[in-house]
A and B are shown apart, each in its own frame.
Chain A
Amino acid sequence: MRNIKLIIKRELHRVFTDKRAVIALIMPGLIMMVLYSAMGLVAGGTISSANEKVSLVSVYGDGYEVLKQYVDEKTVQVVQLDEFNKEQLTQSVLDGDCALVVNITDYDSESGRIACEFYFDRADEASYTAVSRFSALLEAYNAAVNAPIYDLSVINVNANGNDYASSLVIFMLVPMFIVLFIFASALNICPDSFAGEKERGTLATLMMTPVKRSEVMAGKTISNTILTLIAAVISFGGVVISLLVSGSQMGISGFELNIGGWDYLYILLIIMGAALVAVSLFTMVSVIAGNIKEANSYSMPIYIVGMLLGMLPSFDITTDAVSWYKFLFPIYNLGLSVKQIMLGQLEVYQLLIVIGSSLVFFALICWIASRMFKREGVLFSA
Chain B
Amino acid sequence: MLDVEKGAKVFGTDQRTYRSDGQVRVCGITKVFKLSKKQMRLEKLDFPTRVAVNGLSFTTYPGEIFGLLGPNGAGKTTTMRIIATLIKPDAGEVFIDGTGLDDDNTIKKDIAFLTSDLKIDPKLTPDYLFDFFSALFEVEDKVREERKYDLFTRFGIDRFAHVKVADLSQGMRQKLSIVLALVHDPKVIVFDEPTNGLDITVARTVTDYLKELAEQGKNVIISTHIMSLVQKLCTRVGIIIEGKMVECGMVSDLLSANPGKDLEDIFFDVFSKYSTAEGGK
Contacts and interface: CB of A to CB of B under 8 A. Distances in A.
Interface of A: 3, 6, 10, 13-14, 17-18, 21, 197, 200-202, 204-205, 207-212, 376, 379
Nearest to B117: A201
B113 A208 contact: yes
B137 interface: yes
Contacts of B108: 208-210
A13 B86 contact: no
A202 B123 CA distance: 12
A379 B177 CA distance: 18
A6 B132 contact: yes
What 9 pairs between A and B have smallest CB-CB spacing?
A: A201-B119, A209-B136, A210-B105, A210-B108, A14-B123, A376-B87, A201-B117, A205-B118, A208-B113
Scoring A3, A209, A379 by chain B CB atoms within 10 A of each residue's CB, the highest score goes to: A209
Contacts of A210: 104-106, 108-109, 136-138
A200 B108 CA distance: 22
Interface residues of B, number: 30
Given A201-B117, A205-B181, 11 more contacts: A6-B132, A6-B135, A6-B136, A10-B124, A204-B117, A205-B177, A208-B118, A210-B109, A210-B138, A211-B136, A376-B87
Contacts of A14: 121, 123-124
Contacts of B121: 14, 197, 200, 202
Contact of A205 (B104, B109, B123, B180): B180
Interface string B246-272: 000000000000000000000000000
A17 B121 CA distance: 13
A10 B124 CA distance: 9
Contact of A17 (B123, B135, B177, B181): B123
Contacts of B86: 204, 207-208, 376, 379
B274 interface: no
B222 interface: no
A200 B132 contact: no
Nearest to B114: A208
B118 A201 contact: yes
B165 to A, nearest CB: 10
Main secondary structure of the interface of A (DSSP, over half): helix
A21 B180 CA distance: 25
Contact of B122 (A200, A207, A209): A200
B68 to A, nearest CB: 18
Contacts of A201: 117-119
Nearest to A6: B135
A210 B88 CA distance: 16
A10 B131 CA distance: 11
Given A14-B121, A18-B123, A202-B121, A3 B180 contact: no
A200 B120 CA distance: 7
A200 B87 contact: no
Interface of B: 84, 86-88, 104-106, 108-109, 111-113, 117-124, 128, 132-133, 135-138, 177, 180-181
Contacts of A18: 123
Contacts of A6: 132, 135-136
15 contacts: A14-B123, A200-B121, A201-B117, A201-B118, A204-B86, A204-B117, A205-B177, A207-B86, A208-B112, A208-B118, A210-B105, A210-B106, A210-B109, A210-B138, A376-B86
A209 B123 contact: no
B49 to A, nearest CB: 13
B105 A13 contact: no
B217 to A, nearest CB: 21
A10 B177 CA distance: 17
Contacts of B120: 202, 205
Nearest to B122: A200
Contacts of A202: 119-121
A215 to B, nearest CB: 9
A206 to B, nearest CB: 8
Contacts of B111: 208
A3 B135 CA distance: 8
B123 A208 contact: no
Given A13-B124, A13-B128, A14-B124, A205 B136 contact: no
A6 B136 CA distance: 8
A205 B119 contact: yes
Nearest to A3: B136
B123 to A, nearest CB: 5
A267 B105 CA distance: 43
A212 B124 contact: no
B135 to A, nearest CB: 5
Nearest to B108: A210
A173 B63 CA distance: 70
A210 to B, nearest CB: 4
B176 to A, nearest CB: 11
Contacts of A211: 136
Contacts of A379: 86-87
Contacts of A376: 86-88
Given A205-B180, A207-B86, A212 B105 contact: yes
A211 B106 CA distance: 10
A212 B109 CA distance: 13
A369 to B, nearest CB: 20
A197 B119 CA distance: 9
Nearest to B124: A14
Contacts of A17: 123-124
B53 to A, nearest CB: 14
A83 B197 CA distance: 96
Nearest to A199: B119
A209 B137 contact: yes
Nearest to A20: B123
A207 B87 CA distance: 10
Scoring B106, B119, B137 by chain A CB atoms within 10 A of each residue's CB, the highest score goes to: B119
Contacts of A204: 86, 117-118
Contacts of B105: 210, 212
